[in-house]
């Protein structure tokens, strides 16, 4: 498991209060019962705080899965 994926998994488990969550790059909100629209906002906020970055609305709306979220973090961290 890559480093970003394991960090995301920890954040998802914390925010969604479910220690059984296992993420892959292809994981979507449909795969995790607790991942609703409200919790999505909490996830974005925690990811931004954890990595010290900010996302635009268009970036957030464009994500189809966890892999795309990670790609956005990687792109911002490389700037």
pTM for this entry:
0.93
What is the token pair recorded at 24?
């892959």
Instruction: State how far the Cα of 60 lies from the Cα of 66, in Å rounded to an integer.
Output: 11
Q: What is the CATH number of the domain that holds 33?
A: 1.10.1200.10
Of 15, 42, 12, residue with least CA distance to 28: 12
Q: Which domain holds residue 6?
A: 2-77
- Report the number of distinct structural domains present in the chain: 1
Concatenating the DSSP letter of every residue in 2-41 gives -HHHHHHHHHHHHHHT-TT----TT--GGG-TT--HHHHH
pLDDT tens digits, residue range 18-73? Answer: 999 999 999 999 999 999 999 999 999 999 999 999 999 999 999 999 999 999 99
Confidence of residue 77 (pLDDT cuts 50, 70, 90): confident
Q: DSSP assignment, residue 65?
A: S
């Amino acid at each position: 498991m890559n480093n970003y994926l394991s960090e995301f998994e920890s954040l998802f488990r914390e925010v969604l209060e479910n220690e059984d969550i296992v993420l892959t790059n292809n994981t979507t909100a449909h795969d995790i019962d607790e991942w609703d629209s409200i919790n999505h906002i909490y996830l974005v906020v925690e990811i931004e705080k954890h990595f010290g970055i900010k996302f635009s609305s268009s970036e957030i709306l464009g994500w189809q899965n966890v892999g795309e979220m990670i790609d956005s973090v990687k792109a911002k961290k490389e700037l």
